[in-house]
Chain A
Amino acid sequence: MAYTEEELKKELETKEYEYGFYTDIDAETFPVGLNEEVVRRISKKKNEPEWMTDWRLKAFEAWKNMDEPEWANVKYKKPNYQAISYYSAPKKKDQYKSLDEVDPELLKTFEKLGISLDEQKKLAGVAVDIVMDSVSVATTFKETLAEKGIIFCSISEAIQEHPELVQKYIGTVIPIQDNYFAALNSAVFSDGSFCYIPKGVRCPMELSTYFRINQAGTGQFERTLVIADQSSYVSYLEGCTAPSRDENQLHAAVVELIALDNAEIKYSTVQNWFPGDKNGKGGVYNFVTKRGICHKNSKISWTQVETGSAVTWKYPSCILKGDNSIGEFYSIALTNNFQQADTGTKMIHLGKNTKSTIISKGISAGKSQNSYRGLVQVHPRATNARNFSQCDSLLMGNQCGAHTFPYIEARNKTAQIEHEATTSKIGEDQIFYCNQRGIDPEKAIALVVNGFSKEVLNKLPMEFAVEAQKLLEISLEGSVG
């Protein structure tokens, strides 16, 4: 007897989040709540210099006077910011010299994730700075990078060892009062990554970090700062998976990129936080502020694959300040079940001859809502600015929604701006064609979705592209119907 589509649907609906497991490691966690004292304690815990503490307190002051934004096209129960613990660190926080010293529990976690450290070390030349609940526990390939003068470490380490760089650049792209979540992050960020590429250096490997939210009830406040000095190049990867948890978890990260003259930064993200179960229960709130500034002749390229999170609020942006600078944004946002995503980009053209490209692919299935929100702004001084935007949406089933909110503001006559958007569904004949050739509906949909997303997937570094493709398939499971 043939296995019917109905059965398949049923089976998939009950399929649990594959990466949903919980590592039992002793962790030191602050009591819940947020006040000035907590901010001071975090800062003290991390043994930070005074300017950093002041900076955090200023951010906290700003945050207290701000309201949570409501303009995004998402609906969720606002988190109670006083019911979150703002610091959680694995207890044994001595630096490890080799893998043997690492807590075996932790290693097991990474194995489940399919990123065994030693394999990573040998393979592909990827240096992994693993952040597990806020504190960096292992950094590989550090020496190779050090030879070139590249600094790649956790941000707390950078504050200790390279305070001049951190002080000079932190908060310059995203000021502490930028928005509600950025201010919160600035006040309480526990850790994150720091990367500095010196003048004229081409980073020989893809830098990457894996974030995982682990401790129940802790928010994750990552802070990433990437500085590419003149004529340097770096490709940075960020990937996330989070264990399944019932209550909503908050993730408010800040990423700042600085590309000085002639530099190039490529920043890729694969995001797969726990999206909540099929009834929309649980899931991560992902409220991220990402922004880069381009100086003369430089280039920043954002690539993202968003498949997780119950609610996503994320707009990786480029400020094209220098003449001839280039900003790019490639995105795939996939929502299923009750997920909601409001994501897009801002391209602010300030310099002459600046160019930006936006390719956004939204896929909505189940009862999810997927929005693209973008801004292309050409200032009067930005002569010959050029923008091309394309937003395509794919709808699967008739209970989901796809929305587009592109803002275009042109104040220079030489500006050339193009925007186009389409919405469609997967063609029945496409599926039929695949079925005819013995490909089941599930696989057929994965195939079509992959084709739809190809333009963006191609922009990802090899290792990531494979993972991302797999992610798309997993995330769409159970959406056939």
Chain B
Amino acid sequence: MEFKEKLLASHLAFEEQIDFSDPVHQTRLESLKTFEKKGFPSRKDEAWKYTSLNALTRQDYALFPKTETTIELKKVKKYFLYEIDTYKVVFIDGVYSPFLSDTTHDGLDVCLMSAALSKAKYRKLIDTYFNKTTDKEDSLTALNTSYSQEGAYVYIPKSVVAEKPIEVIHFSTGKEKALWLQPRNLIVVDQNAQVQIIERHQSLKSHDVVTNAVTEIYAHQDAFVDYYKIQNDLPTASLIDNTYIAQEKNSSVSVHTFSLGGKLIRNNLNFYLNGQHCHSTLKGVTLLQDQQHVDHYTLVDHASPNCESHQDYKGIFSQGSRGVFNGKIYVDQLAQKTNAFQQNNNLLLDDQATVNTKPQLEIFADDVKCSHGCTVGQLDEDALFYLQSRGIPKKEAKALMTYAFANNVLESVELPILKKRINKLIAEKLGVNLGFDL
């Protein structure tokens, strides 16, 4: 049986596990129909021209883990930002782990999607927000919606500043040989509220795991959202990340994506600027080796005037890795005085690596400032020579320059501890100890 057929057929089994009366069930059924109609995207679709899911969808996956698993904290401690206090929502093979988590309802809600779906007091919020920003025609998002049940639910009420960052971590243990996960996150940040969120997907053992995640973020007037995606998984893990962000007046949202490992990563990052004077930042560092594949597919939809968006993606590729960047800026006819900037720089470190990039502008308003720049190249030989002539070994010199190349993105990371972590990770990937505290 093809995997698509299995997904369609297993929905009945899924329905047995959930509460039929929850408010989103109709949406689930409609989404399943969409997925049935559209199926998995193929390379014939313009949006998937450079990324093929064939290798992933040819296989068979378990959809529901058979047993609940617990893991000891000390084994996974290194994946947390243990140095600081954080709220945590942790899932193991798609199942919530109360032992590792640290949720709250004190002033703000950091809890589970399943809880939000089943409890009456969240009903109004779910009705207002669930599946409202997503692209209804996107088949992978529809697939996630049809199976949506578990994930993180975050609600920050008016004028509340979440004093601790929130970590959302998905572990996969490898108990199932092949696992298909579909977490669903909903984040609502009310007026003038602030939050920092770190999302991470991590497999603990080499096994085939595919995560098809959907995250919806609502930033209300004057809200501030700072979101980090850390993608440093094992070379057997794949991730399809669909993130939809709706911004209201004066809100500011920034998303940093660090793609440092994994088999296939596809980031669909969509920003909808619905109010005036919004501020959006999309940044990313991609550092790949081996046969890894990362595809950044971004959309910034300027639907209102006077907004500003800033994109900066750096890619460093070697050893048969493939990088794809497809950035689209859409400026509506109404969106006068838009200031949109997009930049994509790529370093190819050897001949086996490939970069495909397609920065797009679609502009329907005249009084705008839109620009994009895109480069593909290698490290400057002269600069490398300069460093070497000053006694820095070639490997370190190269690493230093590569690090400097990515630094633009790192600079805007607001959490010092996270910045330090990522610096360390990058140095590790480059195989050097940079010898200064980054």
Contacts and interface: CB of A to CB of B under 8 A. Distances in A.
Interface of A: 71, 378, 380, 393, 395-425
A404 B359 contact: yes
Contact of B333 (A71, A398, A402): A398
Nearest to B361: A404
Contact of A412 (B351, B360, B369): B351
5 contacts: A396-B366, A397-B366, A406-B360, A411-B354, A413-B351
Q: Which 5 A-B pairs have the closest CB atoms?
A: A395-B366, A413-B348, A417-B376, A419-B374, A423-B370
A210 B367 CA distance: 38
Contacts of A419: 359, 372-375
B364 interface: yes
B358 interface: yes
Contact of A409 (B356, B362, B375): B356
Given A413-B349, A420-B372, A425 B358 contact: no
Contacts, number: 114
Contacts of B367: 398, 425
Interface in B339-357: 346, 348-351, 353-357
Contacts of A414: 378
B363 interface: yes
Contacts of A395: 363, 365-366, 368
B357 to A, nearest CB: 5
A413 B316 CA distance: 11
B361 A417 contact: no
Given A399-B333, A425-B367, A409 B354 contact: yes
Interface string B368-386: 1111111111100000000
B437 interface: no
Contacts of A423: 361, 363, 368-371
Nearest to B342: A421
Contacts of B374: 406, 408, 417-420
Contacts of A421: 359, 361, 371-373
B336 interface: yes
B5 interface: no
Contacts of A411: 351, 353-355
Given A71-B46, A409-B354, 7 more contacts: A406-B359, A406-B360, A406-B374, A411-B354, A415-B377, A421-B372, A422-B371
A363 to B, nearest CB: 12
Interface centre among B353, B360, B378 (most CB of A within 10 A): B360
A380 B354 CA distance: 9
A423 to B, nearest CB: 4
Nearest to A376: B376
Contact of A406 (B336, B354, B358, B362): B358
Interface of B: 46, 333, 336, 346, 348-351, 353-378
A404 B326 CA distance: 12
Nearest to A421: B372
A397 B336 CA distance: 11
A396 B376 CA distance: 32
B41 to A, nearest CB: 16
Nearest to B359: A406
A418 B359 CA distance: 12
Given A408-B357, A415-B377, A401 B372 contact: no
Contacts of B365: 395, 398
B351 A405 contact: no
Contact of B360 (A393, A404, A425): A404
Contacts of A408: 355-358, 374, 376
A409 B369 CA distance: 27
A273 to B, nearest CB: 25
B364 A401 contact: yes
A418 B366 contact: no
Contact of A410 (B350, B355, B359): B355
A400 B368 CA distance: 13
Q: Which of B333, B336, B365 is most buried by chain A, counting CB atoms within 10 A of its CB?
A: B365
A420 B361 CA distance: 11
Contacts of A418: 373-375, 377
A409 B367 CA distance: 32
Nearest to B347: A413
Nearest to A413: B348
A254 to B, nearest CB: 26
Nearest to B340: A423
B99 to A, nearest CB: 47
A403 to B, nearest CB: 5
A421 B349 CA distance: 26
B378 A400 contact: no
Nearest to A402: B363
B370 A416 contact: no
Give the residue among B353, B361, B374 with the most A Cβ atoms within 10 A. Answer: B361
A430 to B, nearest CB: 14
Given A417-B376, A423-B370, A407 B358 contact: yes
A417 B370 contact: no
A137 B39 CA distance: 57
Nearest to B375: A418
B371 A413 contact: no
B348 A410 contact: yes
Nearest to B330: A403
A381 B1 CA distance: 42
A402 B361 contact: yes
Contacts of A403: 360-363
A338 to B, nearest CB: 15
Contacts of B377: 415-418
Contacts of A412: 348, 351
A422 B376 contact: no
Nearest to A395: B366
Contacts of B370: 422-423
Nearest to A377: B356
A413 B364 contact: no
B38 to A, nearest CB: 18
A380 B336 contact: no
A417 B360 CA distance: 16
A410 B371 CA distance: 22
A127 to B, nearest CB: 42
Nearest to A399: B333
A393 B364 CA distance: 12
B302 to A, nearest CB: 12
Nearest to A423: B370
A442 B349 CA distance: 52
B362 A401 contact: yes
Contacts of A399: 333
Nearest to B370: A423
A403 B363 CA distance: 6
